[in-house]
Amino acid sequence: MSLQEFIPTPTFEDYRESFRDFFDLQRDDGVVAAAAHTVGGPIQLSVQNHRALGQILKTLGADPENEVLILTGSGEEFMMDSDPEGFELEEQDLPNWAYEYAYKDGRINISSLINDLEIPTIGIFNGPGFHSEIVLMCDITLCAEDATIFDLHYDIGSVPGDGIHSCFQELLGVKRAAYALLTGEAITARKGLEWGMVNEVLPRAASGPSGGDRRAHHEPASCHSPAHDSDRPASVEEAHRRRPGRRLRHPDVWPRRQAEVDPQPGHDLRDGEVRP
């Protein structure tokens, strides 16, 4: 017998409790469903839940009893808001959190999804929202029929990216990705299916946390030709109206950061305005 024992792996019951404020975790026969939430509803971005994503991915990957991961959001939106006080820490100590949040945690979130999970992953994009790379970079991605994919960074005065740029470039190719990133293009679920961003488009009833288990009962959605602007579903117009997130705290923060670096007034990326 070895002179040393294995370090115990945290049990599912233990880390389900630890992460309960960020993820609703369920496991059945090795299949883990992780539904990200904020107070039981759609994700509201914060420094805290941004870090929790990388932490949960590493934790799930370290548990040998997990065989498949289904990752999704909660409610009818994926992530269209930020926590009203979710960036207070960053504002109090910007030099520290610019590294801890924007660089360190952001890098870990993407690398953990790729490197720390040696099991198949199914992402379910349950509704419109930003930071969709979280589910688009899973092995298989299912999408609610009223979901809309877009990146908001350019519209809030930030460099397009923060992880989603790598996802768009990989899935869309360089030219389509550049257009989507630089214009904040709203990509419908059907167009995402046609372009290879998602594998199936499902009715909302089949796109919840257990949708991965029920998808076999639904025929894969057929590809549709891109619609003209006048034919866009209401959900896309809604995403455009709200893009880049009129309820987000980011527009209050980023213009101030930019002004600290370059105080020249009048630049449309620093004035805090939301472009139409």
Residue of 67 and 82 predicted with greater confidence: 67
Give the pLDDT confidence of 250-274 residue by residue, as tens digits.
433 333 333 343 433 333 333 333 3
In a domain, 273, yes or no: no
- One-letter amino acid identity for 203? P
Paired sense of beta strands 23-28 and 43-45, if any = unpaired
Asked if the bond preceding 220 is cis, omega within 30° of 0, the reply is: no
In a domain, 2, yes or no: no
- Please state, in angstroms and rounded to a whole number, the distance separating the CA atoms of residues 200 and 185: 21
Q: Is 237 a catalytic residue?
A: no
In a domain, 133, yes or no: yes
The boundaries of the domain holding residue 49 are: 12-261
Residue of 152 and 262 predicted with greater confidence: 152
> 106-115 vs 47-62: helix axis angle to the nearest 10?
20
Q: Which residue has the tokens 């870090």?
A: 51
What is the pTM assigned to this prediction? 0.76
In a domain, 161, yes or no: yes
Among candidate residues 133, 145, 238, 260, the one labeled active-site is 133
CATH number at residue 198: 3.90.226.10
**Is residue 232 predicted with pLDDT exceeding 60?**
no
How far apart, in Å, are the Cα atoms of 85 and each of 32, 41, 197? 30, 16, 32
In a domain, 270, yes or no: no
Q: How many domains does the chain have?
A: 1
In a domain, 144, yes or no: yes
Instruction: Please give the structure tokens belonging to residue 206.
Output: 């089949």
In a domain, 268, yes or no: no
Picking from 50, 60, 140, the residue whose alpha carbon sits closest to that of residue 87 is 50
Give the pLDDT confidence of 12-49 residue by residue, as tens digits.
999 999 999 999 999 999 999 999 999 999 999 999 99
In a domain, 163, yes or no: yes
